[in-house]
Structure 1
Amino acid sequence: MNKSSPPEPRRTLTLRDVSEASGVSEMTVSRVLRNRGDVSESTRERVLAAAKKLGYVPNKIAGALASQRVNLVAVIIPSLSNLVFPEVLTGISQELEETGLQPVVGVTNYSPEREETVLYEMLSWRPSGVIIAGLEHTAAARAMLENAGIPIVEIMDVDGDAVDSVVGISHRRAGLEMARAILKAGYRRIAFLGTKMPDDHRARKRMEGFEAGLAEAGLALEDREFYSGGSALLKGREMTEAILARSPDLDFLYYSNDMIGAGGLLYCLEKGIDVPGRLGLAGFNNVDLLDGLPVRLATMDACRHEIGARAAAIIAGRSETGLIGGERVELTPTIQPGDTIRRG
């Protein structure tokens, strides 16, 4: 953890900042941002461009509360259908109990533009803090986060530059460690199956770490199979069938998450494929779903509940380090070998 001195508190942006940046009066800025009054289109565009570049968000509770803050914590996540995030939310909710703070959730569907919109709306209500998944944001979203003047905690990932505080795991290291475990078990013809990468940065980093681990042994991925959309058992079955038809000599399949991995496992069991002798399998996340499978899929615990709890503790001022801002908490996931990797 970072034990350096805390950074200076960030000042919340005001109408005056937008006025100075756009070269028009504060009253005109207010009219534009409230969509009121007669303002020329060129002036409107200049004001909106300046506000977006600065990361300014209007205050919807101005004048309504003396504190200018509400006891809400904005929690912005990419999905509710992904089994990972409900557990993160549970950790957040439990940690915030009896603090007077209430989490409010926004969902982005892995869209950077949607994240920008959700963040803008949530910040306009002046929450007491923001917990947001991932480190990659649009320039406008990052500007809003940097100038919000409240605690910001980016979660799930530590491979990158944080706006303020960050709590998560290294996905590159997670992929690297899984590759080493697979190679130690004797597998050599290995493929990766996962979501398309443009917006799922954590899956991309795991694949990069995985490939780096293979490169240590002078190997490379034999094949890849990608999909778009949410995780599902059916997609896992379809992807597994497709890649084995294309590359029948593969001896290991590494899935970007447990849901498609479980689908792949069920396909192998149905087809009578010897797992883990003929073909090894592994997923990621260690979701509870695995407990109901006839064979335990190898996976890696992503520390989901603890990530949520530690992030909420920072927002609530109950961090273990006592730091106010600028905290970095890297948790260490562990491999659960299950029954789908050969034992040495």
Structure 2
Amino acid sequence: MAHDDPRPLTLRDVSEASGVSEMTVSRVLRNRGDVSAETREKVLEAAKTLGYVPNKIAGALASQRVNLVAVIVPSLSNMVFPEVLTGISHVLEETELQPVFGVTDYLPEKEERVLYEMLSWRPSGVIIAGIEHTDAARAMLKNSGIPVVEIMDVDGTPVDAMVGISHRRAGRMMAQAILKANYERIGFLGTKMPLDHRARKRFEGFTEALAKGGVEVADQIFYSGGSALAKGREMTQALLERTEDLDFLYYSNDMIAAGGLLYLLEKGIDIPMQIGLAGFNGVELLQGLPRQLATMDACRAEIGKRAAQIIAARVEDPNAEIETLVELTPKITFGDTLKRR
């Protein structure tokens, strides 16, 4: 039932895959009656497996596109993604293309639903955060017949094109900087990782590089829900009460790292001599802290720009030779919380 033809899927493809007529397929997909439960299930399963999405543009040819680019991200409350969206918008405003945004809340099933709805309007391209998707979402992306750019991560295989950083490399780079500064008792504070694939990859790269230096993470603590200063303070206090001799704290993002920094300063702890700390993302909003936080620039705005440039070039000329794997290099900012050696 594989569909390797780059053309968009049609009712005929679903008809052939399910073994029923195109008219019956149409009735099922429009949720009309007079179709048995067995036939309905057969059609829906074939459509899901193929990645078929019905065309909501009434009366339009199946190949017709609208000048919209579907941009699908996990969150708009996370300060990471507005910078990405700004980069996308700056490029697309010079074209006839307009971005439309969908939010998944880091839930694979919701990403599937958002993608289904957006593709049903036949956009000219898709920019989607991450490279881990459900089988159904991946099938929809692969068989959409339009340019697809997966962003933020390059540790994997893209559907079409991808733009981002290697999070494993980012984790290794931070671990190497920490080891070079002679920290040895390291604590990790981060999100629960089953669905936060990029944080998981950073942690894997981080622990791998520490192990090569003969060091292990001495203790770790995880949280679920949104990142916040209060959460960072709470986690830092809990971790240090549990493991008092830690000399470095590595946080999965800058927001909880900032909360940790404020807690350590409140307790009169010498930073970075007694305890060093670092976050991730390079959030500009936090530059007003009493101490500049060590962090890593994740190239967010540049990721958005490069992804939009790929979409715009492919829409203008589907046969254009475009770089489909764009890996950007994150940079460490040592700030005031990581010793330099």
| TM-score calculated relative to the size of structure 2 | 0.95
1:138 matches 2:134:
yes
Task: Tell me the residue number matched to 2:239.
Answer: 243
| Matched-pair contact (CA < 8 Å) for 1:250–1:279 | yes
User: Corresponding residue for 1:121?
Assistant: 117
Alpha-carbon distance in 2 for matches of 1:98, 1:162: 27
Moved more, 120-129 or 34-43: 34-43
Residue 339 (structure 1) aligns with: 336
Q: Please tell me the residue identity of whatever aligns with 1:133.
A: A
Match of 1:280 in 2: 276
Taking a change above 3 Å as real, the CA distance of residues 17 and 136 of structure 1, as seen in their structure-2 partners, is same
Counterpart in the other structure of 2:166:
170
Superposed CA RMSD: 1.6
Q: Judging changes above 3 Å, is the alpha-carbon distance between structure 1 residues 23 and 325 closer, same or farther for their aligned structure 2 residues?
A: farther
Aligned to 2:203: 207
Write the letter of the residue equivalent to 1:28. Answer: T
Per-residue CA distance 1:34-78 (angstroms, 9 max, x = gap): 111311111111110110011000010142479611100000000
Instruction: Assess if the C-alpha contact under 8 Å between 2:147 and 2:314 holds in 1.
Output: no
Given candidates 288, 295, 300, the residue that maps to 1:299 is: 295
SS at match of 1:29: helix
The whole-number CA distance in structure 2 between the counterparts of 1:178 and 1:292 is 23
2:99 to 103, 106, 111: 103
Aligned: 1:264 with 2:264: no
Q: Which has the higher contact order (CA 8 A, sep 6+)?
A: 1
Q: Which runs of 5+ in 2 are unaligned?
A: none
Spell out, residue by residue over 1:144-169, the C-alpha distance to the aligned partner (whole angstroms, 9 max, x if none): 00000000000000000100000000
Judge conservation of contact 1:74–1:106 (CA < 8 Å) in 2: yes
For structure 1, list consecutive stretches of 5 or more residues without a partner in the other structure: 1-7
Judge which range, 84-93 or 334-343, deviates more.
Answer: 334-343
Shift of 1:297: 0.5
The 1-side partners of 2:130 and 2:218 are apart by 29
Q: 1:84 aligned to 2:97?
A: no
Q: Any conservation in 2 of the 1:164–1:325 contact (CA below 8 Å)?
A: no
Q: Alpha-carbon deviations, 1:249-280, whole Å to 9, x = none?
A: 00000000000000100111111111101000
CA-CA distance at 1:289 after TM superposition = 1.8
SS of residue paired to 2:217: coil
* 1:227 partner letter: Y
The residue aligned with 2:327 is 330
Q: CA deviation at 1:96?
A: 0.4
Tell me which residue corresponds to 1:70: 66
In the other structure, the counterpart of 1:28 is 24
Structure 1 residue 313: deviation in Å? 0.3
For these two proteins, the number of residue pairs brought into alignment is 335
